[in-house]
C-alpha cells in the first residue's frame, strides 16, 4: 500500500509539474509551427506570473490575475512579432531580449510596487482576509470514493480530483490546440506558413497576419503557464520563479516533434522526472545509484540526443527562423 | 494577330520592371486571345518569369497596364490575381510538402473556419476534375511522397479549384519525364477546349510547336516577336530567341592541341534531391585547346564544372584531372583538385568566387590560403599577400588597384578580373571556366577574352562553360552542347552558327552535324 | 542591391548609436515610471561607476568578465553560429579552474599554477562546447537549441559535483572550499598598493590584463591567421568557403572550441580572481550578457572591449542606483534587455529610415553619393 501511495503521489506531482510545461509548449507550438523560433517562452512565463500575481493581489481575484497575466504575455508576444515579422529581426536575439527584459522588469517593478525584494506579497493573507489564489477543485464524490472504494477510490481522490482548475484546463488545451491546428482554416494556414511562406503568399494569404495571429495564440497560452505558477501553485511571485520552465517546454516541444500529443507526453515525462527528483536524493537503477541531478538534467539530455538524430528525427517546420522577404534584392 | 480587344483574355500594355540595376522587363506588350494556348519563349534570364510573376501579383510592375477580358485591373497581390481568374503553376511548386493534395488545394480557398467541410467538398470537386481532365492524383497522401508529375497536377488542380480562366505554366516540363509531359499537353488541350486560356512559358521549342496556337519571343527583357505557331518553325524561333548579336571579334590563331589533360569518361551525377543531373557524360580536353560547353543554363553545365572542381561528388564513371584519377569511390576535395594543377573560375562569382566582406587581398588567396607562400606556421604572410595582390592587380589592370578595398565594392568586371587573375596566376595546367563575362561590361569582356586565349596559346587545357553563344563561338575550338544532363553533340567552331547551336540546345541535332559526328567516330 | 552606396560611418557609427539612444530613451521612460528622474539616475550611475577608485574597480571587474563572454559569442558569430552556451561553458570552465586551484594551490608557486589554471579554464570550457559543435557540424542539429540544453546540463552537473564532491564536510552552503591564497590571482589594489599607489578595495584583479591580451589575441587569430581566415570565410559565404577547399565541419568545431575556451576564461576573473572558491550559479547570466556585448561591439574585439566597458558601467552604475533610490538592482538587467532589443532584434528598424534620410540629404547638399569609392571598369 505504501508503494502504491508513493506512486500515486509521484503521478500527482507529475501532473502539477507538467501543467506549466503543457501551456508553454502548446504556446510554443503555435509560434514555431508558424515559423517563428520562440526561446522567449521563459520570459513570457515570468511576465505572466508577475502580472498575474500582482493583479490578483490588488484585485483580490485570481481570475483577474489570469486575465492580466494573459494580457501581459500578449503584449510581449506581439513585441516578438514586431521584431521578427515586421522588422525581420533575428528570432533568437529577439527571444533573448524578451527573456532578459522580463527578468529585469518583473523584479524592478515588483520591488517598486511592493518593496519586498521583487516578490509580490502573499496572495493568501488571513489577517486581511485576502485569498486571491486559485483553489483546488474537489470533484464530486471524491471523499466518499476514497473511503469506500479501495485503490481506485484513492486514485480518483488523489490523482484525478483536487487539482487547480488550470491543471484541468491544461489537459483540455491539448485537444483544443490540436483541433485549432489541424482542423481549422486558421490552423491550416498557420502550419502552411511555417513550412513554405511563399506558397501561402501565392495562395493569396498574408504571411504577416498569420504570424501575428500565431503569436497572439502563443501569448494567450503561455499566459496561463505563468499565472498557474504564481497564482495557483505558489501564492506569490518571486523573481526568476520560471526557473527554466520555458526552456524545458521548448525542449518538450522539440521532443514531441512539434505535434500536440507527443508533446503532451514529453511534458508528462519531464514532469515525472521532476517529481522523482523532488522526492528523493536520487534513484536506483539496476543497483546503480542515479544522482538526482542526472534525473533533473535528463529532459535536456534526451532532447540533445533527439536533436542529434540518434532516436528518431525531429524535423522542424521547414521555414522556421527564416524571415520572409518577398521582393528580391 | 488581329484579335479585337474584347476577344482577349489577357492584354499587357507597356509593362516595365527594374530590380535595382537590372532592367528585367522593358515596356512589354502582350495580347493573348481567349481559349488559346499561348507560348512565351526565351533564354533563361530573358525576363519571362518576372513578367509572369507580375501578372500573378507576386511583383508589382513599375509601369504599365494589365487588362483582363478587356478591362484594366489592378493586380497588387496574388489574392487579386486569383480573384481576377488567374492561376499559376510555378516552376518551383508552391506546395506545402507535408500537406495532402486536398489540403494544398483548399489552402486559401477554404469554405469556413473549420476545414472538414472544405475537405469534403474539395475531395468531391477534385474527383470531378480528375474525370474531366484526366488529372488523377492520390488525394490524401502527403505531397512529399508523390512524384513530381503528381505534384504538378496538384498545382493545376489548385488553379482550377479556384475557377482560373487563365492558367500560366512556368517551365512546366523542366522536371517531367517525356511521358508525363505528353500527359500534361493532353490536359492543356482539354483545358483549352473547355475555354480556359493557357500561357505556357518554356525554352523548349519542340513543346511550343506541339501545343501552342501563338508564340511570343522574349530576349533580354524585351518582347521581340509575336507569331502564329503555324506560321513559324523551330529554326526561326531559335534564331529569334538567341538573336543576331554582333560577334565580338577576337584575334584567334589556330589551336595546337597536345596531350589530353582532362578526360571525362561515362560520368553520371545525382544531386542531393535525387535528380540525375549528369547522364553518362564523356569528353576530353587537350592542352592548348579550348572546349566550349553551350546550352541553356540548368541543363547540367553547373553540375559538370562543379564535379570537375571537386565541389560535387560523382556517382559513376571516371575523371582524369591532369593525371589524378577521380571516381565515385575516390572523389577529390577542391583543395586536392587545385593541388593537381586545376584552376576553377566559378560561374557565379558572388555565390562562390568571392567573399563580399573580404578585402581584395584576402579574396585573392581563397583556395590557396594554405600554401606556404601565403601562410606561415601561425600567421598569414599578410605583407607578402598584399604585395603579391598589388602586383597582380596591376598586371591584370584591376581598377582600382587597391588590395584593401572590399571585394563587394569593385565593379562586376573588376571582380571577375580578380577571380580570373587569382586562378590563372597560380599557373594551373587545366582551367575550368564558368560564365567568365557574366555581368561584365564590354570593355572588360574583350580583355578577359584575350587573356583566356593567351592561356590557350600557353598550352593550358581549357574547359569553358557559357550560356552566351557569342562567347563560346569566339573562344572555343570545339563546342559541346548540353541538354538535360547529356551531351547532345559536338560541333567544330567553324560549323557553329547560331541556328545550329540553337537547335542543338533544344536537343535537335541537324543532319549535317550528325554526319560529321559519324565521320568522327568512324 | 541598392545602387547608391551608404558610407561606412553610417553603418558603423550612426545606426548603432541611434539604436543605443533608442534603448536609452526607453530606459528613461522606465525610470520615469519608477519615479526616478532619468537624468539624476544617469548622474548617479556615472558617479557610482566612475566616481571613485572603488567604483572604477567594480566597473573594470565586470568589464573583464564581459570581454570574455562577449568574445565567446563573437568568435562563433564570425563563423555564422549563435553560441548561447557561454553560460554553461563558463560554468564548466570554473570547474576546471577550481580543480586546479584546489589541488595545486599552496603546493606550487603561483606562476606555475597560473598557466595550468588558464589551460584548465580553456580546456574545460572548450570541451563543453565540443558536443554541440560536433552535432552542428556533422548532424545538422541547431546549435542554438543544443547550447541552451547544455547550459542546463552544466548547471545540473555542477550541482552534483559541488554537493557530492567539492563541498567540505559539514558546510551548509553549496560551495567548494576556499583556495589556498597562493592560488589567487592578485588584486589590482594590492598590486598598486605595493607600488605605493592607493586604490580602494575592489574585486578587480589582474585578469583584466589577461582579458585585454586575449582580446588582442582574438583579433590576431581572426584577422591574421589562416584559421581565422577560414572561420570568417565560412561565416560570410559557406559556398565560397567550400569552393576554396575549406572543410566546413572542421572549421565549425574549431570555432566552437575557441568560443568555449574564451567563455571558460570567465572563471579566472570570477573564481580565481575574486570568489576564490566555486560557488553555485557563479556565472549568473553573465554569459547571456556576452551576447549583448558582442552585438553592441559588432563582433569585433575592439568594439567588444568598448561594449564590455559600457556594460560594466551599466552593471556597476545600476547597482549603485539601488542605494540611491532603493530601486531593485536588477534594473540593470532591464537596461541590458533594452540594448539587446534595440541593437539586436530591432537593428533593422532604423536602418532604412536613416539610410533614406542620408541619401536624401546627400542628394540635396552633396555630391552624388557612392561615386567616390566605387570604381567603374
Residues 129-168 of B with CB under 8 A from A: 158
**What is the maximum span of chain A, computed from C-alpha positions, in angstroms?**
74
| Range B260-350+427-518: architecture per CATH | 3-Layer(aba) Sandwich (3.40)
Three-state SS string across C203-229, please?
CCECHHHHHHHHHHHHHHHHHHEHHHH
Nearest to B356, CA basis, from C31, A162, C237, C97:
C237
Residues 308-327 of A with CB under 8 A from B: 318, 326-327
Residues 135-194 of A with CB under 8 A from C: none
Residue C347 C-alpha from the chain's centroid: 19
CA distance B215 to B201: 10
Residue A221 C-alpha from the chain's centroid: 7
Q: List Cβ neighbours of A32 (8 Å cut-off, separation of 6 or more).
A: A38, A194, A253, A258, A316, A317, A320
Nearest to C290, CA basis, from C131, C155, C90, C150:
C90
A&C contacts, CB < 8 Å: 158
Residue in chain C nearest A327 by alpha carbon: C1
Residues in A closer than 8 angstroms to B118, CB to CB, are: 185
**Same fold for the domain at B3-242 and the one at B260-350+427-518?**
yes
- CA B345 to each of CA B145, B197, B284, B421: distance values in angstroms, whole numbers, following the listed order: 38, 44, 19, 9
Residue in chain A nearest C149 by alpha carbon: A300
Helix residue ranges, H only, B458-497:
469-475
C101: its cell numbers: 586551484
Q: What does the pLDDT profile of chain C (377 residues) look like in tens digits?
A: 344 567 878 877 888 888 889 998 999 999 898 888 889 888 988 999 999 989 999 999 999 999 999 999 999 999 999 999 999 999 999 999 999 999 998 899 999 999 999 999 999 999 999 999 999 999 888 888 899 999 999 999 999 999 888 888 888 888 999 999 999 999 999 999 899 888 888 999 999 999 999 999 999 999 999 999 999 999 999 999 999 999 999 999 999 999 999 999 999 999 999 999 999 989 988 998 898 899 888 899 999 999 999 999 988 988 888 777 777 778 888 888 998 899 888 888 888 888 888 888 887 876 544 444 433 33
Residues in A closer than 8 angstroms to C140, CB to CB, are: 309
Q: What is the mean pLDDT of chain A?
A: 88
The percent of chain C in helix, strand and coil, each rounded to the nearest 5, is 75, 0, 25
- Tell me which residue range forms the domain holding C68: 8-357
- Helix/strand/coil for A17: helix
Residue with cell 547544455: C150
Pairing mode, if any, of strands B214-219 and B222-228?
antiparallel
Query: Is residue C364 domain-resident?
Result: no
Q: List Cβ neighbours of B458 (8 Å cut-off, separation of 6 or more).
A: none
Please answer yes or no on whether B110 and A185 come within 8 Å at the CB atom: yes
Please check whether residue A249 is in contact with residue A303, taking contact to mean a CB–CB distance below 8 angstroms: no
Q: What is the nearest CA distance from C345 to chain A, expressed in angstroms? A: 5
Residue in chain A nearest B162 by alpha carbon: A203
Say which DSSP state B231 is in: G
Count how many residues are written for chain B: 522
Q: List Cβ neighbours of C311 (8 Å cut-off, separation of 6 or more).
A: C62, C63, C66, C289, C292, C293, C296, C336
What are phi and psi for residue A182, nearest 5 degrees?
A: -115, -5
Query: Cis omega before residue B400 (within 30°)?
Result: yes
Query: Is residue C317 domain-resident?
Result: yes
Residue with cell 595546337: B256
Nearest to A249, CA basis, from A11, A46, A8, A13:
A46
- In DSSP terms, which residues pair with B13 in a beta bridge? B65
pLDDT computed for residue C74 by the predictor: 96
Please check whether residue C369 is in contact with residue C355, taking contact to mean a CB–CB distance below 8 angstroms: no
Please answer yes or no on whether C345 and A83 come within 8 Å at the CB atom: yes
Other C-beta atoms lying within 10 Å of the C-beta of residue B385 = 21
Nearest to A239, CA basis, from C342, C284, C313:
C284
Residues in C closer than 8 angstroms to A300, CB to CB, are: 149-150, 152-153, 156
Q: What is the pTM of this model?
A: 0.86
- Helix/strand/coil for B244: coil
Q: Which H or E element spans position B420?
A: helix B412-425
pLDDT computed for residue C218 by the predictor: 97
CATH of residue C309: 1.10.3470
Q: What is the nearest CA distance from C73 to chain B, expressed in angstroms? A: 19
B271: its cell numbers: 544531386
pLDDT computed for residue C373 by the predictor: 40
CA distance A140 to A266: 30
CA distance C226 to C234: 12
B509 touches chain A (CB under 8 A): no
CA distance B281 to A152: 74
CA distance C263 to C85: 9
Please check whether residue C106 is in contact with residue C142, taking contact to mean a CB–CB distance below 8 angstroms: no
B113 touches chain A (CB under 8 A): yes
Residues in C closer than 8 angstroms to A100, CB to CB, are: 285, 288, 292, 333, 336-337, 340
* Number of domains, chain C: 1
pLDDT computed for residue B282 by the predictor: 94
Other C-beta atoms lying within 10 Å of the C-beta of residue B474 = 18
Please check whether residue C338 is in contact with residue C62, taking contact to mean a CB–CB distance below 8 angstroms: no
Domain ranges for chain B: 3-242, 260-350+427-518
Residues in A closer than 8 angstroms to B158, CB to CB, are: 203
pLDDT computed for residue A283 by the predictor: 59
pLDDT computed for residue A240 by the predictor: 85
Q: Which residues of C24-52 are buried (b: 16+ CB within 10 A; e: fewer)?
A: eebbbebbeebebebeebbebbeebbeee
Please answer yes or no on whether A107 and C156 come within 8 Å at the CB atom: no
pLDDT, tens digit (0-9, with 9 covering 90-100), for C207-262 = 999 999 999 999 999 999 999 999 999 999 999 999 999 999 999 999 999 999 99
B108 touches chain A (CB under 8 A): yes
Residue with cell 529581426: A89
Q: List Cβ neighbours of C33 (8 Å cut-off, separation of 6 or more).
A: none
- CA C172 to each of CA B487, C119, C177: distance values in angstroms, whole numbers, following the listed order: 80, 31, 12
Nearest to C245, CA basis, from C233, C257, C236:
C233
Count how many residues are written for chain C: 377
Nearest to C228, CA basis, from B378, B388, B372, B374:
B378
Q: In which residue ranges of chain A is pLDDT below 50?
A: 328-329
Query: Is residue C3 domain-resident?
Result: no
Query: Is residue C164 domain-resident?
Result: yes
CA distance C182 to B521: 86
Q: Assign domain A2-126+137-309 to a CATH class.
A: mainly alpha
Please check whether residue B471 is in contact with residue B287, taking contact to mean a CB–CB distance below 8 angstroms: no
Domain ranges for chain A: 2-126+137-309
A neighbours by CB contacts (3+ pairs under 8 Å): B, C
CATH number of this structure's domain B3-242: 3.40.50.300
pLDDT computed for residue A284 by the predictor: 61
DSSP A30-69: HHHHTT----THHHHHHHHHHHHHHHHHHHS-HHHHHHHH
Residue with cell 496538384: B154
Residue with cell 556517382: B315
DSSP A115-138: -STTPPPPSEETTTTEE-S--EEP
- Helix/strand/coil for B411: coil
Residue in chain B nearest C372 by alpha carbon: B409
Q: Which H or E element spans position A249?
A: helix A245-255
Please check whether residue B475 is in contact with residue B449, taking contact to mean a CB–CB distance below 8 angstroms: yes
Dihedral sign of CA atoms B68, B74, B76, B80 in order = negative
C302: its cell numbers: 575592439
pLDDT computed for residue C2 by the predictor: 40
- CA B59 to each of CA A170, A200, B25, C289: distance values in angstroms, whole numbers, following the listed order: 44, 15, 12, 42
pLDDT computed for residue A102 by the predictor: 93
Q: What does the pLDDT profile of chain B (522 residues) look like in tens digits?
A: 444 555 889 999 999 988 776 788 899 999 999 999 999 988 766 788 889 889 998 888 889 999 998 899 998 888 899 999 999 998 888 999 999 999 999 998 888 899 988 999 999 999 998 888 888 899 989 998 888 888 999 999 999 999 899 999 988 876 676 678 888 999 999 999 989 999 999 877 778 888 999 999 988 888 988 999 999 887 788 778 777 554 456 677 888 888 999 999 999 999 887 788 999 999 999 999 999 998 877 788 999 999 999 999 999 999 999 989 999 999 899 999 999 999 999 988 888 889 988 999 999 999 999 999 999 888 999 999 999 999 999 988 888 889 999 898 887 788 888 999 999 999 899 999 998 887 776 677 788 888 899 999 999 999 999 877 778 888 999 999 998 899 998 998 888 877 788 788 878 888 888 888 777 655
Amino acid at each position: 500500500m505504501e508503494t502504491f501511495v508513493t506512486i500515486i503521489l509521484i503521478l500527482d506531482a507529475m501532473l502539477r509539474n507538467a501543467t506549466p510545461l503543457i501551456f508553454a509548449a502548446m504556446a510554443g507550438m503555435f509560434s514555431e509551427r508558424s515559423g517563428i523560433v520562440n526561446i522567449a517562452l521563459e520570459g513570457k512565463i515570468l511576465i505572466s506570473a508577475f502580472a498575474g500575481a500582482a493583479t490578483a493581489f490588488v484585485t483580490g481575484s485570481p481570475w483577474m490575475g489570469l486575465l492580466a497575466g494573459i494580457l501581459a504575455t500578449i503584449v510581449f508576444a506581439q513585441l516578438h512579432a514586431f521584431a521578427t515579422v515586421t522588422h525581420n529581426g533575428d528570432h533568437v536575439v529577439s527571444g533573448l531580449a524578451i527573456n532578459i527584459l522580463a527578468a529585469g522588469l518583473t523584479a524592478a517593478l515588483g520591488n517598486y510596487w511592493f518593496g519586498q525584494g521583487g516578490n509580490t506579497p502573499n496572495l493568501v493573507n488571513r489577517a486581511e482576509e485576502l485569498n486571491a489564489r486559485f483553489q483546488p477543485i474537489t470533484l464530486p464524490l471524491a471523499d466518499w470514493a476514497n473511503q469506500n472504494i479501495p485503490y481506485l477510490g484513492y486514485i480518483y481522490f488523489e490523482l484525478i480530483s483536487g487539482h487547480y482548475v488550470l491543471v484541468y484546463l491544461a489537459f483540455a488545451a491539448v485537444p483544443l490546440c490540436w483541433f485549432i491546428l489541424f482542423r481549422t482554416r486558421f490552423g491550416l494556414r498557420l502550419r502552411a506558413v511555417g513550412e513554405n511562406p511563399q506558397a501561402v503568399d501565392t495562395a493569396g494569404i498574408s504571411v504577416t497576419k498569420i504570424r501575428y495571429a500565431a503569436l497572439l495564440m502563443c501569448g494567450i497560452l503561455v499566459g496561463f503557464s505563468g499565472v498557474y505558477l504564481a497564482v495557483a501553485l505558489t501564492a506569490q511571485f518571486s523573481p526568476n520563479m520560471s526557473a527554466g520552465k520555458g526552456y524545458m517546454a521548448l525542449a518538450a516541444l522539440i521532443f514531441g516533434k512539434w505535434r500536440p500529443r507527443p508533446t503532451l507526453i514529453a511534458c508528462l515525462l519531464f514532469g515525472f522526472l521532476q517529481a522523482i527528483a523532488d522526492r528523493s536524493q536520487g534513484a536506483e537503477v539496476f543497483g546503480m545509484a542515479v544522482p538526482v541531478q542526472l534525473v533533473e538534467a535528463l529532459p535536456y539530455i534526451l532532447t540533445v540526443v533527439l536533436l542529434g538524430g540518434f532516436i528518431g528525427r525531429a524535423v522542424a517546420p521547414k521555414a522556421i527562423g527564416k524571415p520572409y522577404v518577398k521582393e528580391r534584392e | 494577330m488581329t484579335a479585337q480587344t474584347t476577344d482577349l483574355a489577357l492584354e499587357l500594355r507597356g509593362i516595365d520592371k527594374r530590380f535595382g540595376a537590372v532592367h528585367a522587363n522593358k515596356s512589354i506588350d502582350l495580347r493573348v486571345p481567349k481559349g488559346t494556348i499561348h507560348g512565351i519563349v526565351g533564354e533563361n534570364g530573358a525576363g519571362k518569369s518576372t513578367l509572369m510573376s507580375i501578372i500573378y501579383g507576386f511583383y508589382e510592375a513599375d509601369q504599365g497596364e494589365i487588362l483582363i477580358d478587356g478591362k484594366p485591373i489592378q493586380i497588387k497581390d496574388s489574392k487579386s490575381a486569383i480573384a481576377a481568374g488567374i492561376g499559376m503553376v510555378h516552376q518551383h511548386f508552391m506546395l506545402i510538402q507535408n500537406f495532402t493534395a486536398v489540403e494544398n488545394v483548399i489552402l486559401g480557398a477554404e469554405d469556413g473556419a473549420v476545414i472538414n467541410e472544405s475537405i469534403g467538398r474539395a475531395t468531391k470537386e477534385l474527383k470531378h476534375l480528375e474525370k474531366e481532365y484526366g488529372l488523377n492524383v492520390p488525394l490524401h497522401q502527403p505531397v512529399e511522397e508523390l512524384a513530381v508529375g503528381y505534384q504538378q497536377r496538384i498545382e493545376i488542380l489548385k488553379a482550377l479549384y479556384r475557377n482560373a480562366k487563365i492558367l500560366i505554366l512556368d517551365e512546366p516540363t523542366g522536371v517531367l519525364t517525356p511521358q508525363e509531359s505528353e500527359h500534361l499537353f493532353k490536359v492543356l488541350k482539354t483545358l483549352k477546349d473547355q475555354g480556359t486560356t493557357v500561357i505556357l512559358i518554356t525554352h523548349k521549342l519542340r513543346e511550343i510547336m506541339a501545343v501552342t496556337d501563338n508564340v511570343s519571343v522574349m530576349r533580354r527583357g524585351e518582347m521581340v516577336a509575336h507569331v502564329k505557331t503555324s506560321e513559324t518553325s523551330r529554326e526561326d524561333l531559335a534564331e529569334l530567341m538567341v538573336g543576331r548579336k554582333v560577334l565580338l571579334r577576337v584575334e584567334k590563331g589556330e589551336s595546337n592541341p597536345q596531350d589530353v589533360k582532362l578526360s571525362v569518361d561515362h560520368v553520371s551525377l545525382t544531386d542531393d534531391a535525387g535528380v540525375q543531373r549528369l547522364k553518362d557524360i564523356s569528353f576530353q580536353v587537350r592542352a592548348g585547346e579550348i572546349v566550349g560547353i553551350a546550352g541553356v543554363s540548368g541543363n547540367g553545365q553547373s553540375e559538370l564544372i562543379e564535379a570537375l572542381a571537386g565541389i560535387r561528388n560523382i556517382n559513376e564513371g571516371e575523371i582524369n584531372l591532369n593525371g589524378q584519377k577521380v571516381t565515385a569511390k575516390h572523389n577529390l576535395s577542391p583543395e586536392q583538385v587545385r593541388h593537381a594543377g586545376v584552376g576553377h573560375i566559378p560561374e557565379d562569382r558572388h555565390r562562390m568566387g568571392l567573399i563580399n566582406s573580404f578585402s581584395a587581398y584576402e579574396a585573392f588567396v581563397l583556395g590557396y590560403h594554405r600554401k606556404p607562400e601565403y601562410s606561415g606556421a601561425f600567421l598569414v604572410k599578410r605583407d607578402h599577400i598584399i604585395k603579391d595582390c598589388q602586383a597582380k592587380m596591376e598586371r591584370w589592370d584591376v581598377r582600382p588597384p587597391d588590395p584593401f578595398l572590399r571585394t563587394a565594392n569593385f565593379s562586376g568586371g573588376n571582380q571577375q578580373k580578380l577571380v580570373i587573375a587569382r586562378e590563372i596566376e597560380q599557373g594551373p595546367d587545366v582551367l575550368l571556366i564558368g560564365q567568365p563575362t557574366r555581368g561584365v561590361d564590354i570593355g572588360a569582356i574583350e580583355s578577359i577574352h584575350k587573356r583566356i586565349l593567351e592561356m590557350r596559346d600557353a598550352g593550358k587545357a581549357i574547359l569553358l562553360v557559357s550560356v552566351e553563344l557569342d562567347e563560346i563561338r569566339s573562344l572555343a575550338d570545339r563546342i559541346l552542347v548540353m541538354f538535360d544532363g547529356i551531351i547532345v553533340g559536338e560541333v567544330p567552331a567553324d560549323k557553329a552558327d547560331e541556328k545550329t547551336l540553337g537547335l542543338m540546345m533544344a536537343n535537335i541535332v541537324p543532319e549535317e552535324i550528325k554526319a560529321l559526328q559519324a565521320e568522327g567516330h568512324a | 542591391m541598392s545602387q547608391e552606396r551608404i558610407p561606412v560611418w553610417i553603418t558603423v557609427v550612426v545606426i548603432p548609436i541611434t539604436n543605443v539612444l533608442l534603448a536609452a530613451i526607453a530606459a528613461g521612460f522606465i525610470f520615469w515610471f519608477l519615479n526616478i528622474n532619468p537624468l539624476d539616475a544617469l548622474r548617479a550611475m556615472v558617479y557610482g561607476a566612475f566616481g571613485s577608485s572603488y567604483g572604477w574597480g567594480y566597473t573594470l571587474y565586470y568589464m573583464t568578465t564581459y570581454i570574455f563572454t562577449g568574445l565567446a559569442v563573437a568568435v562563433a558569430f564570425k563563423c555564422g553560429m549563435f553560441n548561447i552556451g557561454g553560460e554553461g561553458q563558463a560554468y564548466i570552465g570554473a570547474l576546471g579552474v577550481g580543480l586546479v586551484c584546489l589541488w595545486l594551490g599552496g603546493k606550487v608557486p603561483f606562476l606555475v599554477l597560473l598557466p595550468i589554471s588558464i589551460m584548465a579554464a580553456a580546456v574545460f570550457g572548450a570541451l563543453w562546447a565540443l558536443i554541440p559543435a560536433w552535432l552542428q557540424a556533422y548532424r545538422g542539429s541547431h546549435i542554438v537549441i543544443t547550447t541552451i540544453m547544455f547550459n542546463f546540463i552544466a548547471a545540473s552537473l555542477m550541482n552534483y559535483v559541488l554537493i557530492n564532491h567539492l563541498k567540505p564536510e559539514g558546510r551548509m552552503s553549496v560551495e567548494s572550499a576556499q583556495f589556498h591564497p597562493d592560488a589567487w590571482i592578485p588584486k589590482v589594489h594590492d598590486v598598486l598598493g605595493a607600488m605605493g599607489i592607493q586604490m580602494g578595495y575592489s574585486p578587480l584583479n589582474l585578469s583584466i590584463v589577461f582579458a585585454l591580451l586575449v582580446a588582442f589575441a582574438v583579433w590576431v587569430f581572426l584577422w591574421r591567421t589562416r584559421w581565422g581566415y577560414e572561420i570568417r570565410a565560412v561565416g560570410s559565404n559557406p559556398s565560397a568557403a567550400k569552393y576554396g577547399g575549406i572543410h566546413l565541419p572542421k572549421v565549425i568545431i574549431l570555432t566552437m572550441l575557441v568560443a568555449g575556451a574564451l567563455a571558460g576564461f570567465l572563471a579566472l576573473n570570477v573564481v580565481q580572481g575574486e570568489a576564490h572558491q566555486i560557488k553555485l550559479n557563479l556565472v549568473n547570466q553573465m554569459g547571456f550578457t556576452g551576447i549583448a556585448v558582442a552585438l553592441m561591439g559588432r563582433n569585433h574585439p575592439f568594439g567588444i572591449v568598448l561594449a564590455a566597458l559600457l556594460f560594466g558601467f551599466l552593471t556597476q552604475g545600476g547597482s549603485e542606483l539601488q542605494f540611491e533610490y532603493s530601486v531593485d538592482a536588477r534594473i540593470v538587467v532591464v537596461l541590458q534587455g533594452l540594448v539587446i532589443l534595440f541593437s539586436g532584434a530591432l537593428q533593422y528598424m532604423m536602418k532604412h529610415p536613416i539610410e533614406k534620410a542620408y541619401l536624401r540629404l546627400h542628394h540635396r547638399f552633396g555630391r552624388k553619393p557612392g561615386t567616390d569609392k566605387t570604381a567603374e571598369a
